[in-house]
Amino acid sequence: MSDFDSVITLLKKYDQEHIIKFWNKLGEKQKAFLLEDIHELNIPEVVEMFKKTLENMNTNQQKLDNRMNPIPAELYGAVNRSPKELLIKYKQMGLEQISQGKVGVLLMAGGQGTRLGVNYPKGMYDVGLPSHKSLFRIQGERIRCLIRLANKNFGSCKGLPWFIMTSEHTMEPTRKYFKENNYFGLDEKKIIFFEQYMLPAFTFDGKIIMESISKISKSPDGNGGIYKALRDRNVLDEIKRLGVQYLHAHSVDNILVKVADPIFIGYCITKNAECGAKVVEKAYPSEPLGVICEVDGKFQVVEYSEITENTAEKRNPDGRLTFSAGNICNHFFTTEFLNNVAYKYNSKLKLHIAKKKIPYVKDDGTVCKPDEPNGIKMEKFIFDVFEFCNRLAVWEVEREEEFSALKNADVPNGKDNPRTARLDVFSLHRKFVEKSGGKFKTENIECEISPLLSYSGEDLKHLVDGKIFDSVLELKSAEEISNNKTSNIN
């Protein structure tokens, strides 16, 4: 049987033969491309996924109120409820692990900047800080700063490997951008790029949608696709080879993220956690932020839409919301747990669906852009592994210090956009300066501190103590100043 005959047999078996409906109209290159598309897709697997997703969608409509409990207090720590000595202990423990090369960073950077109005990876976006640093550069320089701090505290540092998950569309531009920027001064050998997988879009009745007569409509499989990608792209083997035991995973679009935060890492290790989650306290009961809790004795993120208003508004005797642990896609994993997920539990991960307007090929071979949702896109979420975790640690941080998402283009009074990201950086950095003895003439002065100079506000006193600033303040490292850049500190 020829390759094409076996493909026909496969497609017929799974009721997907429409994929080759226009075969006779295709050129040789198009035919080869389509066959490769079909082989890469694993038709039996994705059709089974679609069926499971539909079943879950139809059975999981009930509210979760009666099955929910908050995270046990002994597993729920918080920056603002921990004594300073304990935070110092966690930080030293985290820095020691970094110095020994046992910590790595897992960055989810598959997103394009489409909603920001650009056609390049979101990590390359410049929100308009005085330095005009991109998200990638800010995060890379934070890693460099941690390496310096670990070196300073423990006499050496074996490095902090950076594992970057891209998508089909962001892989090449991301690689090129890192190379053009000299990997932000990091060791190129310890930056590993890998690509997440794609899933096809389906019609509501289970037919794979064609983007053109020779191309299947696909989209990235969500941030939960990281586990399959780590396994099948051999990144777990590289993590093991490098001796990494703990990983900090986060998405690229949080401009305030404390990359490989040593306090968080130290806290999770102290709790002997397999998996950890940073959270922020929900601002108000109906805030559209998923909360981490227990459901039927297993850890889970529950969306606001999955509970009633009464449960969302429940409060403890101290006045805090009972279900307040807002999930911000910021996690800790042991390498051992990642291996377990990848090899034992990946096939059990939930699939979430989104009903979308998906361009499709009509019977005459032309492409149509629908006005109403006509199909389903499936994706996995990174936090859906919580249910497989025996020891989860939750660490609550201050929102204004650690969470400012970049999701949308600038519009008046908009949220999670370049303007809000920029203002959140200025506000936090002014606090760092004031804590170190500096003052500002007015409260809205722009202030940016280079991550190469300070990780979280330390080591600034000698630069700002006793000074009053009345114009834009950009604090740079000695290296940046010597690179033909000037500092505005007199």
Report pLDDT digits (tens) over 41-65: 889 999 998 988 887 766 656 688 8
What confidence category does residue 411 fall into, taking pLDDT thresholds of 50, 70 and 90?
confident
End-to-end CA distance of the chain: 79
Residue 276 in contact with residue 264, Cβ under 8 Å?
Answer: yes
Q: Is the pLDDT of residue 487 over 50?
A: no
**Average pLDDT score over residue span 416-438:** 97
Q: 3-state DSSP call for residue 355?
A: strand
**Spatial distance between the Cα atoms of 115 and 111, rounded to a whole number of angstroms:** 10
pLDDT top residue among 307 and 147:
147
Q: Is the pLDDT of residue 412 over 70?
A: yes
pTM of the complete model: 0.93
Q: How many residues does the chain have?
A: 490
Beta strand 210-212 pairing with 468-469? unpaired
Q: Is the pLDDT of residue 2 over 70?
A: no
Taking only the tens place, the pLDDT of each residue in 100-122 is 999 999 999 999 999 999 999 99
**Spatial distance between the Cα atoms of 184 and 145, rounded to a whole number of angstroms:** 11
pLDDT at residue 305 in the model: 82
Residues 6 or more apart whose Cβ sits within 8 Å of residue 481:
487
pLDDT at residue 192 in the model: 98
**Spatial distance between the Cα atoms of 448 and 110, rounded to a whole number of angstroms:** 27
**Spatial distance between the Cα atoms of 449 and 441, rounded to a whole number of angstroms:** 18
Output b/e per residue, 150-181; b: 16+ Cβ within 10 A: beeeeeebbbbbbbbbbbebbbebbeebbeee
**Average pLDDT score over residue span 380-397:** 96
What confidence category does residue 352 fall into, taking pLDDT thresholds of 50, 70 and 90?
confident
Of 81-85, 348-352, 468-472, the poorest mean pLDDT is in 348-352
Q: Is the pLDDT of residue 1 over 60?
A: no
Tell me what the pLDDT averaged over the chain comes to. Answer: 94
Measuring CA to CA, which residue among 158, 160, 144 is closest to residue 455? 144
Highest-scoring range by mean pLDDT, 193-207, 352-366, 476-490: 193-207
Residue 90 CB neighbours (<10 A): 24
**Average pLDDT score over residue span 207-224:** 94
pLDDT at residue 324 in the model: 93
Q: Which sign, positive or negative, has the C-alpha torsion 400, 406, 407, 409?
A: positive
Residue 200 in contact with residue 208, Cβ under 8 Å?
Answer: yes
Q: 3-state DSSP call for residue 270?
A: helix
Beta strand 468-469 pairing with 215-216? unpaired
Residue 487 CB neighbours (<10 A): 14
Q: Is the pLDDT of residue 488 over 70?
A: no
Structure tokens at 357: 């307007």
Backbone angles phi, psi at 269, to 5 degrees: -65, -40
pLDDT at residue 33 in the model: 93
Residues 6 or more apart whose Cβ sits within 8 Å of residue 333:
106, 246, 247, 249, 274, 275, 276
**Average pLDDT score over residue span 421-444:** 97
Taking only the tens place, the pLDDT of each residue in 247-282 is 999 999 999 999 999 999 999 999 999 999 999 999
Helices of type H across 187-322: 226-232, 235-241, 262-270, 309-312
Residue 64 CB neighbours (<10 A): 17
